[in-house]
């Protein structure tokens, strides 16, 4: 008998296979065009300057960046100084469908994980407001996603996110700790050279 219950946070929603293969492929083509214009950059940890294991870009009016001075949102690419490319319609439609009450998303962070990359447990809390959810889309290799509670000490659970899956962190789960433990290399053929792309949509400013 297993006696440890799983306390699921309300507001955490998982949509396996939200995007079918054709939709994933179309979205990937749009992301490639965005990255051609706004190249992947190498974020580093504030203060220490230690590089992240993921590379990043953004689309939408604002983009999330991390450098020696801290985490922040800014309207331009840190290397090129150009505005971020527009957000693909498939992503704004996803937001409208899953977060119809929320004001439009302002930032879409593009994280690129090579096999071996990971993302430590953290909260998404650089936004001015937490009423809107965070919506994430996974493309490419499957990842093990870990999610806990609003306190760092809360117990965590992990589950796999495959290509086309969508996760919503809203309500009580909006400030849940989460991270990526590992990428399961060779689990998807969507990206020709393997790896994983995660797209995270966020509302940054109060409406």
Can you give the binding site for ligand SIN, defined by CB under 6 A? 111, 119, 136, 145, 161, 178, 180, 198, 200
Give CA 191 to chain center in angstroms. Answer: 17
* Site map (CB under 5 A) of Fe ion, residues 104-143, x = contact: --------------------x-------------------
- Binding-site partner at residue 27 among Fe ion, ligand SIN, none, CB < 5 to 8 Å by type: none
- Binding-site partner at residue 136 among Fe ion, ligand SIN, none, CB < 5 to 8 Å by type: ligand SIN
| Eight-state DSSP code of residue 173 | G
Residue 127 C-beta: closest distance to ligand SIN, Å: 12
Alpha carbon distance 72, 171 (integer Å): 23
Q: Within 13 A of 28's CA, how many CA atoms are on the CB side? A: 21
Q: Are 176 and 100 contacting, i.e. CB atoms less than 8 angstroms apart?
A: no
| Eight-state DSSP code of residue 131 | S
Q: Give me the sign of the Cα torsion angle 140, 117, 106, 202.
A: positive
Give the SS3 label for residue 79: coil
Number of residues counted as binding Fe ion (CB under 5 A): 1
- Binding-site partner at residue 106 among Fe ion, ligand SIN, none, CB < 5 to 8 Å by type: none
Q: Which C-beta is closer to Fe ion: that of 124 or that of 165? A: 124
Q: Which residue is nearest to ligand SIN (CB)?
A: 198
Alpha carbon distance 83, 85 (integer Å): 6
Residue 21 C-beta: closest distance to Fe ion, Å: 26
Q: Which C-beta is closer to ligand SIN: that of 85 or that of 136? A: 136
Binding site for Fe ion (CB under 5 A): 124
């Amino acid at each position: 008998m297993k006696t440890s219950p799983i306390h699921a946070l309300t507001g955490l929603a998982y949509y396996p296979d939200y995007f079918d293969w054709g939709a994933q492929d179309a979205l990937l083509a749009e992301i490639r065009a965005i990255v051609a214009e706004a190249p992947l950059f190498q974020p580093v940890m504030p203060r220490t300057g230690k590089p992240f294991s993921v590379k990043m870009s953004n689309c939408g009016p604002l983009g999330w960046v991390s450098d020696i001075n801290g985490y922040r949102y800014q309207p331009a690419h840190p290397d090129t100084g150009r505005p971020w490319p527009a957000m693909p319609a498939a992503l704004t439609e996803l937001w409208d469908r899953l977060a119809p009450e929320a004001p439009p998303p302002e930032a879409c962070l593009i994280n690129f994980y090579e096999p071996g990359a990971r993302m430590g447990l953290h909260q998404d809390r650089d936004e001015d407001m937490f009423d809107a959810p965070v919506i994430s889309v996974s493309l490419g290799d499957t990842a093990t996603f870990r999610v806990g509670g609003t306190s760092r000490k809360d117990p965590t659970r992990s589950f796999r996110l495959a290509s086309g899956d969508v996760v919503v962190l809203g309500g009580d789960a909006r400030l849940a700790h989460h991270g990526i433990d590992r990428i399961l290399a060779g689990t998807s053929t969507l990206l020709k050279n393997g790896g994983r792309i995660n797209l995270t949509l966020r509302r940054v400013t109060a409406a």
